[in-house]
Structure 1
């Protein structure tokens, strides 16, 4: 009888205001811990899918290179500042941005190498999309941006001497470079994709890099060797303007 009375009293008592506030406080603390953790887990998962996509881009580029006995896609005129290529989408949409006209400049190649693959029957479009890219970004109703998301090393388009510190870059050194000329395949970046999954200081973000030997990883600029300063081309960026070009290394 006493036990029944106790249970009946317990059912009828309910929660006190203090108990309710304590419960709410505990739940708030747990949410404060879990929400940032879940957000970080989602970011990491997204970054891994981007890196996996870049692996596909590298594989297609490698297929192209292998079919051409180790030569990277190249459409420049050696020894000049010209890189003529017929970029049909740009011609069809003259109001577009980032397009490449038939008489394009030489350094458009690290951005438009994907189109050279398409012209030769390969899936170069992989370099322009990915898990982090808005699928509506280049629909006909919007300006057309032709740049690849995976930028290719500038060293593929000029001799090693073009990228020497203290040397004035010379147009005569604009030449195609083959894969077998790379001195350190495991330390020379081939493709780099900016990390747009996260927000933060650009040089501190871990960007997506695939190296000549085929392995990929995320690297921030401060964990890679700086590139050389080429004012007419781009700022000092690892992978892109590596010192000594294909003879240099980024890590």
Structure 2
């Protein structure tokens, strides 16, 4: 990219109560995201459901684009000042969300300088029929170097299979030993073709696997599909017009 990405991102693993995954993702995209855009300059980067055969279920992945650490600090300050550690104005929203989720695990991640923002991804029409979410552990202090290796050596291998590197991040507030990669894949069959090459012998893919073993400590991948109002699916941020009829903030 010609510009440097100075955003930071909140990445969330969300555990869903029962069969409420569809309710939860709508609540996040249509009911929460418009508020976040207006009051916190926080954009929805993506909301996905984990495909259970490949990972934990029923689980949702949320990612939010913050206006750098300053924007994140302002949002956290506003959110946690009250006695309940929650914005009192959003009490109804929190109560509704609690019906759908049982807990989660968040992390702050920093993009590679060349990684596109969500506005750039939408403008370029980047979208996957399915997405691969990869967490990679690397030796301490090498996360930045690993992301450059991915850009230079992995993307030429994956792109012919219909995989596009939509996001590349390293985890903040830690020891620079964890990376997150997000691949937009053109079809489920395109995912299968790469997995077959990796499992049964594809020269380019196996060269990358060998390189991955050299520069990382561990690696895991699962598949996701994006929510109906996830930005890369609709090519824009969710808006108040996307809400269910009758929903109000207060």
* Short-chain TM bin: under 0.3
- In our comparison, the structure showing a higher alpha carbon Rg is 1
Taking structure 1 as the reference length, the TM-score comes to: 0.25
Taking structure 2 as the reference length, the TM-score comes to: 0.25
Bigger relative CO (Cα 8 Å, ≥ 6 apart): 2
Q: Where is the strand percentage greater, Structure 1 or Structure 2?
A: 2
